[in-house]
Amino acid sequence: MDDQERTRGQKIKQSVQNKTPKKLRNPTDLQVRFRTGFVYVTLSVLCLIINNWTTLLLLMLTAGITAGEFYYMLRSDAKLPNETLGIIAAVLYPVGVFFFGLMGAMMVTLLLLLSLIVWYVFWQRARVPDVGVSFFGAAYCGMLLSGILMIRVSLPDPWGGVLVLLLFLSVWGNDSFAYLVGSKFGKHKLAPRTSPKKSWEGFLAGLVASMLFWWVMSFVPGVVMPIPMALVFGLLSGLMGVLGDLAESRIKRNSGFKDSGTIMPGHGGLLDRCDSLFLVSVTSAILLFGGGCIPFAG
C-alpha cells in the first residue's frame, strides 16, 4: 500500500510539473526571491488594510515566528533561553497593547519577568544571561513591534491602515533603495565587520526613500505633520531601520548564521525581513504621538 501511495504521489508530482511552463520549472534564485517576496508583501498589505483585527493577527504571527528564529540562533551561541516563555510573551505583547494600550505592555512585561524569575530559581541550569536573552527576545520581537498596532488604531478606517502601510513601505523602500544603489554604486563600506555588503552610498539612498514615504504620510487624513517635520521624522525612522538591520546582522554573525531561518525561500528567515521594522515601529510611534501628529489612545 505504501508503494502504491508513493507511486501515485510521484505521478501527481510529475503531472503538475508537466503542466508548469518550462521557464518556471527550475526557477533561478532571483525568481524564487521575487515570488516569496510577492507573497509576503501581498499578505502584509491585505492584513494592514482590512482592519485592526487582521493587523493584530499579522503582528502576532510575525512576533511569534521571529522570536522563535531569534532563540534558535542564540541557542547555537551557547545560550539557554526559555523559548516557550519568550515566544508566548512576544505574541502576547501585541494582544496586550490592542486591548489595554500601554498598560497591556506593562502587564505582559511584569508577567514575563515573574515567570522568568521563577524559572531561574527552580531550574538550576539557567544562568542570569539566559534570563536576559529570554526577556530580550520577547521585547525585541514583540514589544517593539506593538508600536505598529498603536499607530493603526489611532485613526479610523481606512486611514489607520493607510498610515501603517506607508510606514511599512518606508522600511521596504529603505531596504530596497539601499540594496539597489549599494550594489551598483557602493564603494565605501558602512560596517565591514558587521555587514560587509552595506555601503555608505546605499545607506544614503535608503534614507532618501524613507524620507519620501514619510512625506507622503503627511498627506494622510487625520495626520497633522508639516512637511519639514515629516522629512526629519523620515530621516530618524530610516536611521533606526539601518540600526535594526545591523543589530540583527551582529546577532547572526556572533551565532554563526547566514540567515535567521528558512521560512522564506530566497530571503532566509522572517527575522531577516523584519529586522528593520522593530526599531522603526517603536520609534515611529514615539515620533507620531510625541509630535502630536496623530491622537494618542493608549
Asked if 144 and 109 touch (Cβ cutoff 8 Å), the reply is no
Q: What is the pLDDT of residues 273-296, one digit of tens each?
A: 888 999 999 999 999 999 999 998
Q: What is the pLDDT of residues 229-288, one digit of tens each?
A: 999 999 999 999 999 988 888 888 888 777 776 676 656 778 888 889 999 999 999 999
**Residue 5 exposure: Cα atoms within 13 Å on the Cβ side:** 2
Asked if 40 and 264 touch (Cβ cutoff 8 Å), the reply is yes
Mean pLDDT calculated for residue range 27-35:
63
Position 19 scores a pLDDT of 47
pTM, entire model: 0.85
In whole angstroms, give the CA distance from residue 211 to residue 173: 10
Q: What is the pLDDT of residues 142-187, one digit of tens each?
A: 999 999 999 999 999 899 999 999 999 999 999 888 888 877 876 7
Mean pLDDT calculated for residue range 34-41:
80
Task: Please determine, for residue 191, whether its predicted confidence score (pLDDT) is greater than 90.
Answer: no
In whole angstroms, give the CA distance from residue 128 to residue 216: 46
Position 215 scores a pLDDT of 97
Position 24 scores a pLDDT of 45
Instruction: Please choose, from the candidates 49, 64, 77, the residue with its C-alpha nearest in 3D space to the C-alpha of residue 256.
Output: 77
Q: What percent of the chain has pLDDT over 70?
A: 83
CA 87 distance to own-chain centroid: 15
- The helix (run of H) or strand (run of E) holding residue 190 is strand 189-191
What is the overall mean pLDDT for the chain? 86
**Residue 48 exposure: Cα atoms within 13 Å on the Cβ side:** 22
In whole angstroms, give the CA distance from residue 159 to residue 131: 40
Helix (H, G, I), strand (E, B) or coil at 196: strand
In whole angstroms, give the CA distance from residue 135 to residue 143: 10
Mean pLDDT calculated for residue range 42-64:
95
Instruction: Please choose, from the candidates 190, 247, 236, 224, the residue with its C-alpha nearest in 3D space to the C-alpha of residue 294.
Output: 224
- The helix (run of H) or strand (run of E) holding residue 171 is helix 159-185
